[in-house]
Amino acid sequence: MKVHHFQALVLGALCLGAAVLAAVAYNHQQQLTALLVAADNAPADPAPALRRDLDALGATVAALPPQVKALGEHQRQQAASFVALSKQLDEVSASLKSIEAVPVGPTKADLAALEQRMGNAEIAVHALVARPVAPSAQPQPAAPAKPAAKTQTPTPPFTLLGVETRGEVRFVSAQPAGMHALSTVHLLQPGDRLNGWQLKTIRRNQAVFQVPGLGERSLPLP
């Protein structure tokens, strides 16, 4: 509505300007007519000033028709421009309405569905993590025909790294099997345990451990 009002105001202003010019032309025409009548009633040899005024007024009146024609042409161009502008504004208005009709973002229903899917995925992940791993089938060792002459000692659950001395106290540094970080190194004194193995004594080149159910076991020190 504002665009149409603006167009109407501009067209009204142009029409008013044309009317003013027409009124000025008509006024000049009336003045010229009055001067001509006065000239007809004047003596045969009018004053030079009156002739100059008549010539100037005649030139002014002669220049008015082209100005009125140019104003009319300009008015027609302005009207065509306003028609094109109005069409563009209508297209922009239609585009804005179509844009407003499109939802800006996901709806509440979309967010609820997405939240439900994420919840289901989280439950599935937790169930997968909590699922116990089935132990691989281990073949049962065949019963030995004869009792073993000597019981096999299990592999130590750690690696000995050496002996450290702090003051007069000696320690055995050991690291649990599969560990590589420096923070996992343990300093053992006699009586300390690591993964079930208890350090009994530290010898020159050996560390003696008490193995549960198997007695003592001596391990070489690097």
Tell me if 136 is assigned to some domain: no
Do 95 and 174 reside in the same domain of the chain?
A: no
Backbone angles phi and psi of 190, in degrees to 5: -55, 130
SS3 annotation, 52-109: HHHHHHHHHHHHHHHHHHHHHHHHHHHHHHHHHHHHHHHHHHHHHHHHHHCCCCCCHH
Report the chain's terminal Cα–Cα distance, integer Å.
Answer: 96
Same domain, 11 and 93: yes
Question: Do 85 and 165 have their domain in common?
Answer: no
Regarding whether 97 and 7 lie in a shared domain, the answer is yes
Is the residue at 112 inside a domain? no
CATH code of the domain in which 216 resides? 2.30.30
Domain count, the chain: 2
Give a yes or no: residue 130 inside a domain: no
**Domain end residue (candidates: 82, 101, 120):** 101
Domain range for 40: 2-101
Q: How far is CA 134 from CA 50, 71, 129, 131, 138, in A?
A: 127, 97, 13, 9, 12
Is residue 152 situated within a structural domain?
no
Q: Are residues 8 and 81 in the same domain?
A: yes
Rounded to 5 degrees, φ, ψ at 197 are: -90, 130
Model confidence, pTM: 0.33
Among 83, 101, 119, the domain-final residue is: 101
Query: Tens of pLDDT along 181-218?
Result: 888 899 999 999 998 999 999 988 899 999 988 899 99
- Look at residue 209 in the predicted model and tell me its pLDDT: 94
Distance between CA atoms of 14 and 70, rounded to whole angstroms? 12
pLDDT tens string 153-181: 678 899 998 888 888 888 999 999 888 88
Instruction: Report yes or no on 26 lying in a domain.
Output: yes
Residue 44, domain member (yes or no): yes
